[in-house]
A and B are shown apart, each in its own frame.
Chain A
Amino acid sequence: MSLFFGKKINYHHSITNKYITMKLSFLMLLTAVLLFNSCKPEKPATGNLKIIFKAEYNNNPLVMYDTNATNLTDPTQISISKLEFFLSEIQATATQVTTLKEVDYISLNGTTTKALAEEGTSILLTAIPIGSYHDLGFKVGVTKAIDNTVPSDYPSTSPLGINGNYWSSWNSYISSRIEGNITKADQTTSSFLYHAGVEGMFQQCQFNTSFEISADQTATVVITIQAEDFFFDSNNPIDVINDNSTHSGAVGSAGFLLAQKSIKNLGKAMIIK
């Protein structure tokens, strides 16, 4: 002790003793804090992923309510007024599959100008372990597990807590909604509405894409929805004139099959350019 404090120490002086005691206490506390900190497990480094969804029609930004030429004889024009859907089990693969988020909701309904359509809408997934990812996947729609829940299980801040996103008659969330109008060859217009949502009605999307998640950085992936493929893809086209509406329906019904086709087509219309 005397080596540390030298001649200044007067062991018989009470004030000096107090001073020494205080200094010692401080040193001990400092040591304890340092020891404690060195023992704490290091928080693993994480970063973020922003997924931007944009919709296009024949490679042009899809502006809600704007008419688009179909390049078909009938219908000749199409406009979309609503395009929204649930995403669930958003996963990415680096060395192993990581679930980035259980559920989210994408709405492109607000893209009512070209600038907004070019901007698209995005979700930010946070606290993703750093690494080189080579695969991104999600379900368009909700999983069976989520479909076994109901809006009252969630606060109104969750898209799952909104009454309008749930179809009580089928005990299911409405997985996807696409609405709009067409102009037919005879110049008349009519509406279409495709609401898909019965348990198990989701479409798995998988993208072989690479992105790097670095500590405290945000990587970006842009997913483009090619709206023309939703309706008129040659492999599975929707007869938007005659089959213009579905709210889903009992399993196997015409409404169910049309809804199933619509959500399948929506998933297939998503690409990474």
Chain B
Amino acid sequence: MKKTSIIALGIALSIWACKETPLSNNLEHIAYAPSSYTVVPPTGFPAMEIPADNPMTVEGISLGRHLFYDPIMSGDSTISCSSCHQLDKAFTDGLAKAEGVNHRVGRRSTMSLINIGYSWIKNRDKNFMWDGRFARLEDQPIAPVEDPNEMDFNWPDLVKRLQKHPEYPRMFREAFGISDTREITKYLASKAIAQFERTLNSANSKYDRDRWVAFDYMTQQQKRGFDLFLGDAANNPITKDAECVHCHSFSDTKALFARNNFSNNGLDSAASFNDFVDKGYGEATGDYTQNGLFKEVTLRNIALTAPYMHDGRFATLREVVDHYASGGHASPNVAPELTTATELRTLTNSEKDDLVAFLHALTDTTLTQHEEWKSPF
């Protein structure tokens, strides 16, 4: 009896000893020596502003890239960030509205991630997404994980998956210096993804080459379209003023083709502020006068990001131009840049084609050549 008890105790002790103990979570045996990474701005872009609490490192970017492409992020392990943000579509998905697990359809269209780091206005609390609900790029990746129409998962369980993963604990250690797997959090995962996203910068289009290289890359049609885009500023007396540049603004040293504001571009009629079906920016700010406003997107790579608008209602760029040329629908806060643009309403079919041709000149044809943006798996 005594012998049996001793053997049983021995077995129990052995099992207990083999069980995962806090000591096995320790990561301090892995070197933490992150290499600082500096974003090299494309020609015509300023230095990118990086938040002080998330300095970029080679290891952080690598971790972010892995997480971005890993379906581990979704409940049924079918969907990753890259499912909706596909490189060959300038990190959009070609759908009117994003699809998540089990093909569930989300509320709005997937936004491009190209040059997303330049969308940050530091002291503004509404920056990212169609409705601007996230202040920082670091805030954004947290939401899709728990959205039932996107990844349909929960962070506590995802963190457990990451903690038990054969590679991620090491990568979190190398990126952020955590000493224990239990220090893996959604915030660190999100920081890593934000670091990766800040590397997705593109400015190698025909327009850029025309601007910076002594050679004509844009076609005559694209140049005519550019003059229409600029309007009066093109200083071409025979050119009409399509007045696109007021919202899709740029300068030689900040050639974003976006002013990063929110506006109502006349998509829907609304008799009052409360009549907008999708309240957009107003939903995020709580200010009813901002209902129906959405993020003005960059026109860079716009030819790759169809369909267009927050709900993907326009299949082609020509449909977009047709919409603007119609003057848009009336509502209390429709952008006066649109409603006062009288010559925009007189564009001929041929002029509309010219505008569309210019928009194609903003496509970076080297996007898919970036090996460092592709899946690491």
Contacts and interface: CB of A to CB of B under 8 A. Distances in A.
Nearest to A165: B259
Contact of B253 (A110, A150, A155, A191): A150
A156 B232 contact: no
A164 B260 CA distance: 7
Q: Is the interface of A mostly helix, strand, loop or mixed?
A: mixed
Interface string A97-124: 0000000000000101000000000000
B49 interface: yes
A193 interface: yes
Sort chain B's interface into a size bin.
35 or more
- Report which residue of B250, B332, B340 has the largest number of chain A beta carbons within 10 angstroms of its beta carbon: B340
B251 A245 contact: no
Contact of B121 (A81, A162, A192): A162
A37 interface: no
Contact of A168 (B251, B258, B261, B289): B251
A168 B232 contact: no
Contact of A247 (B232, B253, B334): B232
B44 to A, nearest CB: 9
Contacts of B340: 191-193, 244-245
A162 B260 CA distance: 9
Q: Is the interface of B mostly helix, strand, loop or mixed?
A: loop
Nearest to A171: B251
A163 B289 contact: no
B232 A250 contact: yes
Nearest to A63: B289
Contacts of A255: 232
A179 B49 contact: no
Interface stretch (B26-34, B241-249, B303-311, B350-358): B241-249
A234 B141 CA distance: 56
Interface in A161-213: 162-164, 166-170, 179-180, 190-193
Interface string A119-158: 0000000000000000000000000000000111001110
Contact of A110 (B232, B287, B332): B287
A270 B136 CA distance: 37
Interface string B114-153: 0000001111100000000000000000000000000000
B259 A162 contact: yes
A46 to B, nearest CB: 25
B55 interface: no
A168 B252 contact: yes
B325 interface: no
Interface string A29-72: 00000000000000000000000000000000000110000000
A164 B249 contact: yes
Nearest to A82: B336
Contacts of A192: 336, 340
A192 B337 CA distance: 9
B289 A112 contact: yes
Contacts of A150: 251-254
Interface in B299-353: 332-334, 336-337, 339-340, 342
B273 to A, nearest CB: 8
Contacts of B45: 152
A156 B46 CA distance: 11
The 4 closest A-B pairs by CB, nearest first: A169-B233, A164-B259, A152-B46, A245-B340
Interface of B: 45-46, 49, 120-124, 230, 232-235, 243, 245-246, 249-254, 256, 258-261, 273, 287-289, 332-334, 336-337, 339-340, 342
11 contacts: A151-B253, A163-B250, A164-B261, A166-B249, A166-B251, A168-B252, A169-B233, A179-B336, A191-B340, A247-B243, A253-B232
Interface of A: 64-65, 81-82, 110, 112, 150-152, 155-157, 162-164, 166-170, 179-180, 190-193, 244-245, 247, 249-250, 253, 255
